[in-house]
């Protein structure tokens, strides 16, 4: 079974935010993909079912953002944060998990946010992620006096 899936859903060049979804649940990945279609600001460019594969996918695709579960086989999401950010340093990582016990550890490792499944909808997660990335782009953009 292949665990790394470069995805080409309805690739819309108008969508600015390139996102990789990492979750061992196909249902959650489908919900996030559907949410991306609703939000309209995100393009799902890849998927992975564990942290190790997420690192490989992010190294190859250099997404702007990753939505990452905590509990997964092979390598969990918290352990994947550092290698993902090493492979793609400008990528923003947000956690989307029902396991909140490692939230502090995830944030310390470099995650930009943590959302609890069942408490926050996938649509809200992607909207917050888009706003986070837009804010980061604004901060990084050179400012020219007029």
Percent of the chain exceeding pLDDT 90 equals: 68
Domains assigned to the chain: 4-138 (3.40.50.2300)
Say if residue 3's pLDDT is above 50: no
Q: Which residue in 59, 67, 53 sits closest to 20, CA to CA?
A: 67
What predicted TM-score, i.e. pTM, was given to this entire model?
Answer: 0.82
Q: Which residue in 35, 101, 108, 24 sits closest to 69, CA to CA?
A: 24
Rounded Cα–Cα distance for residues 53 and 118 (Å): 25
Distances (CA, A) of 87 to 71, 83, 95: 21, 6, 18
Q: What is the mean pLDDT of residues 91-109?
A: 95
> Could you tell me the pLDDT band of residue 143, with boundaries at 50, 70 and 90?
very low
> Could you tell me the pLDDT band of residue 136, with boundaries at 50, 70 and 90?
low
Name residues whose C-beta falls within 8 Å of residue 35's C-beta, 6 or more positions apart in sequence: 121, 122, 123, 125, 126
Residue 144 CA, distance from chain mean position: 31
Q: Give the model's pLDDT for residue 8.
A: 42
Say if residue 133's pLDDT is above 60: yes
Q: Give the model's pLDDT for residue 137.
A: 52
> Could you tell me the pLDDT band of residue 18, with boundaries at 50, 70 and 90?
very high
- Write the pLDDT tens digit of every residue in 20-54: 999 999 999 999 999 999 888 889 999 999 999 99
> Could you tell me the pLDDT band of residue 132, with boundaries at 50, 70 and 90?
confident
């Amino acid at each position: 079974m292949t665990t790394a899936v470069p995805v080409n859903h309805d690739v819309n060049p108008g969508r600015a935010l390139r996102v990789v979804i990492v979750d061992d649940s196909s249902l959650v990945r489908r919900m996030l993909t559907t949410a991306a279609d609703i939000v309209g600001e995100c393009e799902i460019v890849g998927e992975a079912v564990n942290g190790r594969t997420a690192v490989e996918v992010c190294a190859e695709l250099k997404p702007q953002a990753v939505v990452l579960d905590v509990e997964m086989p092979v390598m969990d999401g918290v352990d994947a944060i550092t290698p993902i950010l090493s492979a793609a340093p400008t990528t923003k990582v947000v956690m989307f998990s029902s396991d909140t016990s490692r939230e502090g550890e995830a944030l310390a490792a470099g995650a930009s946010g943590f959302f609890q499944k069942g408490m926050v909808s996938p649509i809200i997660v992607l909207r917050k992620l888009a706003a986070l990335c837009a804010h980061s782009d604004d901060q990084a953009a050179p400012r020219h006096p007029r």
